[in-house]
Copies of this chain bind each other. A is one copy, B any other.
Amino acid sequence: MTSPLTPLHSRYAAIRTRSVALAAPLSAEDCSAQSMPDASPTKWHLAHTTWFFETFVLEAYERDFTPFHPAFRVLFNSYYNGVGEKHPRPQRGLLTRPSLEDVLAYRVQVDERMARLLAAAPHDMVLCSLVELGLQHEQQHQELMLTDVLHLLSCNPLFPAYSPAADVVAPAAAGPLAWRSFEGGLVEVGHAGGGFAFDNEGPRHCVYLHPYALATRLVTQGEYAAFVEDGGYRNPQLWLAEGWDWCRAQGLERPLYWHPEGGGGWRTFTLAGLGLLQAELPLVHVSYYEADAYARWAGARLPTEAEWEHAATQGGADPLEQLFGAAWQWTQSSYAPYPGFRPAAGAVGEYNGKFMVNQYVLRGSSCATPPGHGRASYRNFFPASARWQFTGLRLARHLG
């Protein structure tokens, strides 16, 4: 008779299973291709998340650690210099071996070893926190699997759907746009303790906020279409200088995955395939530059991350909609360490801190974020030019 799983092991099994389930609609060929250096093959995600457990947990805890395959240490290392060499990122799509089947076998073996370990040391707090980090890490890659495969499929003139079910990761629409005011003052932000958080969410600390207002919902696709039709992509006065140069160099005239229709409307490519633009849904797939230009056109600005977090943690009569589960929301805050920030010791300390330059913080979570993964103190970050994530915006205004 087997003993019941510990809660952590149950959670481990559920999250690990979900990753494989996300790959189910895809062929081995789909899982192996890489459409641009920023995106990774599904197979690579499946292997790398497993590598994380093997390298950071099993290697530290197994008595007679033997790797599944000695070459995997390099092949599936993403960016941890502390672990050693890594396969060049732009060439991940050339790894036709190991096969998808081999990678799934790798997952099964590591999962079995993890099960033994979790059963043997259920109360080891360092182990549990490493495992939880690995699970949060895997959830981040679950979102990337969806954004990366969407990009891959968008490069195919056949426009294949990831899944024909029209409601795959489609967020709900919200009510009419309203503004909610916040007094600001000296407030606290950052993870307050209680539950998991990444190192970059702390330390909790004081910030002084001037009075501001936030839109109660996100900018919609219909609102953004009005900006496009008003010549938003042809007026340099609306753009940051770098954004304008970026836009001109690539000849951009609309968000990623928008296709003009003969009659003047738009089709958008989503995980459900090519379909009519849905005006009331939140805008996604815009860069920081586009979000900033739209805000200027609308007589508003992007919020800071502290404004966003403070607002997200206030109760109130006219609550903010679409904080989570709709689209990642660009803030005007550059990704920087909080006062007193210290990365964790060892190679896992490379998780967040070394990326704190030339990236912008996004808050909330998107329709592709795994359920339960987001929280008010969460700091996502991407370069200002990134468009292939589910990125949108919420308007803000200065009061006073």
Contacts and interface: CB of A to CB of B under 8 A. Distances in A.
Q: How many copies does the complex hold?
A: 4
A99 B29 contact: yes
A392 B159 CA distance: 43
A21 interface: no
Interface stretch (A134-142, A150-158, A317-325): A150-158
A32 B35 contact: no
A362 interface: no
Nearest to A81: B236
22 contacts: A27-B99, A28-B28, A29-B29, A29-B31, A29-B96, A29-B97, A29-B99, A79-B241, A81-B244, A87-B157, A91-B155, A96-B152, A96-B156, A97-B156, A186-B186, A206-B210, A210-B339, A240-B356, A241-B350, A241-B355, A242-B358, A288-B357
Nearest to A385: B358
A28 B26 CA distance: 13
Contacts of A126: none
Given A28-B29, A239-B354, A354-B240, A339 B398 contact: yes
Contacts of A155: 91, 94
Given A32-B32, A32-B96, A75-B157, 13 more contacts: A29-B96, A32-B33, A87-B157, A91-B155, A95-B156, A207-B208, A210-B339, A210-B340, A240-B357, A288-B357, A333-B334, A358-B358, A358-B384
A157 B28 contact: no
Interface residues of A, number: 65
B158 A97 contact: yes
Interface string A69-107: 001001100010110000100010111111110000000
A29 B31 CA distance: 8
